[in-house]
């Protein structure tokens, strides 16, 4: 072996040693040692055989200073190990509430900064692919061409609660964006709204609605198309006492754009939600496959809504049923895997 190759091997051995010490220091919550090892050149982006990062170990320690230090070093708050566990899962497993809170705050900061630099210029419509492919009603579910769950019957108890939130008294004018299986619209009909507007963009779902007689209901008005293309008609038929939003194949930006369209006020444009007593809600599947991600996005959407003059309260509802493996059989990927659902109730903020 040449002296050059021996030198490289020695450096490699030293590096591994430092990295092992780094992970151990993170696990012990020894912020000073972690800082020293980083300054000595230890590779921060290292994982053990199970994919745990330095942030996983820091979170497991519960030491907030160590968590802050490792986050500052650049390890993403979204890191997952090979078992699909987040850093938040490790903090919660140890009962480390302060460390978990630090991770949530870091996630919120990161998401806010990321959006400042993101651009959607030139992007096609978010749900364009979904709208051009067939969907199938199959027993307790509505699935798309790739076997993604568009809507499933396990959501029924949640939808009934959402309906009661936005239609608290008979005669209310309500708007629902996204029909799906019609679960919330059926629940709304039971509450006797005065006028019930439904916006649905998928042609197969729209045909299903007509087959089921929704277009013949006396107090129901259906708009077929993307909500983005129907805003003028939505506005003309409003304002609404209650609004619910649950589309498929769109991103957070689309939800945020809907909020801006519904709640933004100016001298020339009045909000679509009635003031001051209108109530808004949406299917809160944000980050629904991991609790940490969900908690972060709940805070992000609350902050975004507050900037538009809306106060948001989350009611916690048990959703343990989703842990039944049979429930997701035939579905490409579960879209909700958290035991508690945060049901949003959004109202106009009171002015001081």
| 85 occurs within a structural domain | yes
Q: Are 235 and 205 in contact (CB under 8 A)?
A: no
Q: What is the pLDDT of residue 208?
A: 97
Give the Cα separation of 215 and 217 in Å (integer): 6
Give the Cα separation of 14 and 22 in Å (integer): 12
User: Among residues 76, 98, 117, which one ends one of the domains?
Assistant: 117
Give the predicted TM-score (pTM) of the model. 0.89
Q: Are 118 and 111 in contact (CB under 8 A)?
A: no
Q: What is the pLDDT of residue 118?
A: 62
Q: What is the pLDDT of residue 271?
A: 87
User: Among residues 63, 86, 117, which one ends one of the domains?
Assistant: 117
> How buried is residue 233: exposed, middle or buried, by Cβ count under 10 Å (0-12/13-18/19+)?
middle
Q: What is the pLDDT of residue 117?
A: 67
Do 12 and 101 reside in the same domain of the chain?
yes
Q: What is the pLDDT of residue 126?
A: 54
Residue 204 Rama label (left phi>0; alpha psi -120 to 50; beta)? alpha
CA proximity to 133, closest of 182, 201, 224: 201
Do 90 and 164 reside in the same domain of the chain?
no
Give the Cα separation of 66 and 144 in Å (integer): 44
For the chain, list residues with pLDDT below 70. Answer: 1-16, 117-126, 266-267, 352
| 123 occurs within a structural domain | no
Give the Cα separation of 205 and 288 in Å (integer): 24
In CATH, what number is assigned to the domain containing residue 90?
1.25.40.20
Q: Which residues contact 153 (CB under 8 A, 6 or more apart)?
A: 140, 141, 181, 183
Do 45 and 85 reside in the same domain of the chain?
yes
Q: What is the pLDDT of residue 125?
A: 53
User: Among residues 117, 140, 161, which one ends one of the domains?
Assistant: 117
Residue 144 is part of which domain span? 128-348
Q: What is the pLDDT of residue 52?
A: 97
Distances (CA, A) of 85 to 92, 146, 215, 291, 295: 11, 25, 46, 10, 15
The CA dihedral of 90, 95, 101, 106, to the nearest 10 degrees, is: -20
Do 135 and 245 reside in the same domain of the chain?
yes
């Amino acid at each position: 072996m040449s002296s050059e190759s021996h030198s490289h091997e020695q450096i490699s051995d030293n590096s591994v040693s430092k990295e092992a010490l780094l992970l151990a220091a993170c696990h012990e919550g020894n912020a000073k040692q972690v800082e020293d090892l980083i300054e000595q050149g230890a590779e921060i982006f290292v994982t053990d055989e199970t994919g745990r990062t330095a942030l996983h170990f820091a979170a497991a320690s519960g030491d907030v200073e160590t968590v802050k230090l490792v986050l500052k070093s650049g390890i993403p708050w979204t890191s997952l190990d090979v078992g699909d566990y987040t850093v938040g899962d490790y903090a919660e497993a140890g009962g480390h509430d302060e460390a978990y809170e630090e991770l949530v705050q870091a996630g919120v900061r990161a998401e806010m900064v990321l959006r400042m630099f993101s651009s959607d210029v030139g992007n096609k419509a978010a749900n364009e692919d979904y709208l051009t492919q067939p969907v199938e009603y199959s027993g307790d579910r509505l699935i798309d061409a790739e076997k993604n769950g568009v809507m499933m019957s396990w959501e029924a108890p949640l939808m009934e609660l959402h309906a009661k939130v936005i239609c608290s008294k008979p005669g209310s004018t309500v708007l629902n964006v996204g029909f799906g299986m019609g679960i919330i619209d059926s629940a709304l009909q039971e509450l006797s709204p005065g006028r019930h507007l439904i916006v649905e963009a998928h042609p197969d779902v729209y045909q299903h609605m007509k087959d089921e007689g929704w277009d013949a209901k006396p107090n129901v008005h259906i708009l077929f198309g993307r909500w983005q293309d129907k805003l003028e008609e939505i506005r003309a038929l409003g304002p609404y006492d209650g609004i619910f939003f649950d589309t498929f194949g769109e991103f957070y930006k689309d939800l945020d754009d809907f909020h801006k369209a519904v709640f933004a006020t100016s001298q020339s444009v009045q909000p679509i939600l009635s003031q001051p007593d209108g109530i808004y809600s949406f299917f809160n599947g944000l980050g629904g496959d991991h609790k940490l991600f969900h908690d972060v996005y709940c805070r992000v959407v609350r902050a975004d809504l507050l900037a538009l003059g809306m106060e948001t309260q989350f009611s916690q509802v048990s959703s343990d049923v989703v842990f039944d493996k049979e429930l997701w059989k035939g579905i490409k990927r579960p879209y909700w895997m958290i035991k508690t659902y945060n049901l949003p109730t959004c109202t106009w903020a009171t002015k001081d």
